[in-house]
Structure 1
């Protein structure tokens, strides 16, 4: 992996994590670092699912892949926020 691909993953993870956090109603008690981490993981898993389904190489913006990533990020943020809330 190059520095550009790592920085790209962080930026895309931040965007996907923020969108996933916006989808959830209410206030999430996790910080931005956890949001970005969840977003990166959701982006990677969403891309893998999109490639296995065969929708990752569509012309233009890959909307289906982006929706998969945001849904996974929303689920991840919800799980992390719930886990953090139950521990406190």
Structure 2
């Protein structure tokens, strides 16, 4: 149980950091919000890919849910910046 929570936080941090690196400009959000939005992107990405019938029949690292999670996290970070009124510095 604790290992699952820690791994979800670690994957959320990685997905959130990748999403922020791929976005243009400098986002003015903290590390905690990056983790929260990364975890949300990871969960939504995994859920969405499995709803479309994705199966990891070969085992190993699941690349497609990871990539979809990063894309969703980019959208979540953009939405957060738009809602909170924070500006992206160029």
Query: TM-score band (shorter)?
Result: 0.7 to 0.9
Counterpart position of 1:3 = 2
Measure the CA separation in 1 of the matches of 2:82 and 2:20.
13
Task: Answer yes or no: is 1:40 the counterpart of 2:39.
Answer: yes
- The equivalent of 1:51 in structure 2 is 50
TM-score normalized by structure 2?
0.85
With over 3 angstroms needed to count, the CA separation of the structure-2 counterparts of 1:81 and 1:56, relative to structure 1, is farther
Distance change (3 Å), C-alpha of 1:58 and 1:23: farther
Work out whether 1:61 is the aligned partner of 2:90: no
Which ranges of structure 2 fall in alignment gaps of 5 or more residues? none
- Residue 61 of structure 1: how far off its partner (Å): 2.5
Could you tell me the TM-score, scaled by structure 1's length? 0.87
- Which consecutive segments of 4 or more residues in structure 1 shift more than 2 A? 58-61
2:20 match: 21
How many pairs are equivalent?
85
As a proportion of its length, which structure holds more helix?
1
Q: Any idea what the Cα deviations from partners look like across 1:3-35, whole Å, max 9, x if unmatched?
A: 010001100000011111111100111111001
Stretches of structure 1 lacking an aligned partner (at least 5 in a row): none
